[in-house]
């Protein structure tokens, strides 16, 4: 496989763009192919088998495009079925999971709050993760069923967003949580709002850069790092050779608006792949 092959990244929507941005920052030489499965979102309301079938479908699309690695930039998809996906495909497949371990290590009160989609919190994989640290800290789970649609709508600072975050965060603080885990990649886009509500004494645990570093490690291990010289400055100027191509199974106009807000780079190209996905 050529070192110049792209990295495939997918999510149920735009949340995985936070992971893609971290990958772009850490690995500016790498071309990216991003798939937002917005036509089948949100995954948090779907059964595990449905999510797995979507993961298979998208992975077939990405492997047909010749990607050298895949990042499942969705906590729900990772906890629902990444093990089954890895059993099907030999290339590096990197997932994301809520950062419970670093949260437990960071907590001084011994109380950790996890903000995530209801589906993520119900999966056996997450139950195993939480149980692993049950003797070290009290882990409180907070389902956030209405948060992803607001983020997808780019409603970051309205009264509804503020009220919703208050309703999710305050019960955790009332129980003594001094560390909050963002258990959905979408939530990275409202991390500052969450931090503002939680206050300066509460740590916010995000995992997108940890995912990028794990991808870097896996690529290096397999000898797949692209060594062509491309700098972040070139990318910002839109003159980098490393491409960023974006697909959506939803409405292309909406996705374009989301990209301009959350990616905003001159090196992007959007493809409507509803007929493929």
- Residues with a catalytic annotation lie at 74, 184
Count of helices and strands (H, E) across the chain = 12, 10
The Cα-based distances of 141 to 76, 152, 183, 260 in angstroms read 15, 23, 10, 33
d(CA 1, CA 224): 8
The Cα-based distances of 88 to 16, 85, 92, 135, 228 in angstroms read 22, 5, 11, 35, 31
Strand partners, 116: 143
Query: Tokens for 12?
Result: 């149920």
Looking at residue 6, the DSSP 8-state letter turns out to be P
Neighbouring C-alpha atoms within 13 Å toward the C-beta of 189: 28
d(CA 223, CA 220): 5
């Amino acid at each position: 496989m050529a070192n110049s092959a792209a990295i495939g990244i997918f999510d149920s929507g735009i949340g995985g763009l936070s992971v893609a941005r971290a990958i772009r920052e850490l690995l500016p030489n790498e071309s990216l192919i991003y798939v937002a499965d917005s036509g089948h979102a949100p995954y948090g309301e779907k059964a595990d088998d449905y999510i797995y079938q979507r993961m298979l479908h998208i992975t077939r699309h990405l492997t047909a495009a010749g990607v050298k690695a895949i990042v499942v930039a969705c906590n729900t998809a990772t906890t629902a079925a990444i093990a089954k996906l890895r059993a099907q495909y030999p290339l590096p497949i990197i997932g994301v999971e809520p950062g419970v371990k670093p949260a437990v290590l960071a907590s001084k009160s011994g109380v950790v709050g996890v903000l995530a989609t209801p589906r993520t919190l119900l999966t056996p994989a997450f139950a195993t993760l939480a149980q692993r640290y049950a003797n070290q800290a009290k882990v409180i789970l907070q389902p956030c069923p209405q948060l992803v649609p607001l983020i997808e709508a780019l409603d970051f600072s309205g009264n509804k967003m503020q009220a919703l975050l208050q309703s999710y965060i305050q019960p955790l603080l009332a129980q003594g949580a001094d560390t909050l885990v963002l258990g959905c990649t979408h939530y990275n886009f409202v991390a500052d709002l969450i931090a503002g509500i939680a206050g300066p004494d509460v740590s916010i645990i995000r995992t997108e850069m940890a995912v990028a570093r794990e991808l870097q490690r896996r690529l290096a291990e397999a000898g797949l790092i692209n060594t062509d010289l491309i700098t972040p400055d070139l990318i910002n100027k839109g003159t980098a050779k490393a491409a960023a191509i974006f697909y959506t199974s939803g409405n292309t106009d909406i996705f374009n608006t989301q990209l301009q807000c959350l990616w905003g780079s001159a090196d992007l190209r959007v493809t409507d792949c509803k007929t493929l996905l």
